[in-house]
Structure 1
Amino acid sequence: MKKQSSSIKKGIICCLSLFCSLSIQAQKLGDYIEIDSVPAFIFYIDNTGKHGLAMSMPAVYSDMLKKIDKYVKKGLIDKRQAELSKKGNVIDIKNYEESGMLKPKNKQKLFENLIPKLTEKGEENAAIIEAYCKEQNILMQEHFPWEYWASQLGQGWFIPGDYELTLFAQFYSGGIGKDYHMGISFLTKRGKELSNNTRVQDALTSITSKGGLISSTAKYADCGFRTLHRIQKTMPKLTYWFELLDNLNGAYKELNVQTCAIHKF
């Protein structure tokens, strides 16, 4: 009886392993997937075909937008833009506080010690930022709200770094830079070409039509975190392409910084 029971258990385990393996292999680019009940889509699969990366549906940082909208109405945006460095107008979610805007030097000081530690990979940066907050005795939700948001989705979720955002650009348009330009026709059809799931199609449209995706990679203390941004050129014809930027002209007025989290599978 014991041998028979052991054989049955082994058989069940083998079946479950086979089922899980088949489930993983069945995943393909553009598939809708839920991890920790978080809606997401697959945008990268490694050479094994069994593992890859999923991106959550875009979540615009609404508190930031409300604050920026308030400053727009007060006419303070142009004043803030004039105070920025020569690098341009910086996308930095935490440039704003309810009582007023943070001065660049305060944010720069916060970043100066952190930036040398950051990498191109979002998962590594999530751990680095968490450790940095503990070391500096500061609250992640106050200084790095997008990283805090990702951590609240569940274990393993993180904000993408330049590495993951480059993989997303490769998934969507083939890569980063002018060589991978996109026209209106391309953008109109691309969502349906990449996925047969309407939620994924809507997510891709939102991500690629409303400006930048926040990165957890930063290069300069006075620029804050980078973004994957859709660049537009109107002449000789309207065309777009992706670039990873340290700053964005007019970004504050566009109200379009988006946040997506990444999870391995």
Structure 2
Amino acid sequence: KMAAATVVVPVEWIKNWEKSGRGEFLHLCRILSENKSHDSSTYRDFQQALYELSYHVIKGNLKHEQASNVLSDISEFREDMPSILADVFCILDIETNCLEEKSKRDYFTQLVLACLYLVSDTVLKERLDPETLESLGLIKQSQQFNQKSVKIKTKLFYKQQKFNLLREENEGYAKLIAELGQDLSGNITSDLILENIKSLIGCFNLDPNRVLDVILEVFECRPEHDDFFISLLESYMSMCEPQTLCHILGFKFKFYQ
């Protein structure tokens, strides 16, 4: 059973919808729309009113055409009506998915289909379950949609941005060159420098391939420290693809021909 909240829409309005209920509901929504703030109690009551109206459709007390018609009139009251309605559909989508009665799920689907002209496909794709979107005909395959969504989110939120050019992150690369160009006669070891390099890569989002290129450039300028740089390169290459060093050296040889 769906959780009951404070009733904003009396049952009498639904019973006498065509006679007086529709007008009462419109009047209520107009009053609740006067305060545009999302933090106000009237905003929450407005959401609740749309929820209760939709809930009556799901229970079979109101036809989906009647609900979509009045929602169309209400959409003139608020610019954010599509987003609010999508939030209501999102809640009902979850609730009807948990119900055993198939009829209520069908009523919900019919209601959303009747309101597609009020809420854009893009907004619904953000809020509704992929299987619901498939049943509405908004996507072809929910499984494929899920896979695509995961790929996009991974690219947006987890893929690290890497700076390849020195001018894109001059501070980071300057610190890298200073690290490699320091006096190596003391207790400086390749392992210590490698840890510092890894910290710079993480802190400044340096491209690891470009870092390897810089290490080779500094090695060229300081051949007398070959033991140090060979040890550093061997340790650094354990973090890279084996072919990376070959590719970079090959590119250098080709460039300097």
TM-score w.r.t. length of structure 1: 0.23
Higher relative contact order (CA 8 A, sep 6+): 1
Larger Rg over CA atoms: 2
- Taking structure 2 as the reference length, what is the TM-score of the superposition? 0.23
Q: Which has the higher helix share?
A: 2
Q: Which has the higher strand share?
A: 1
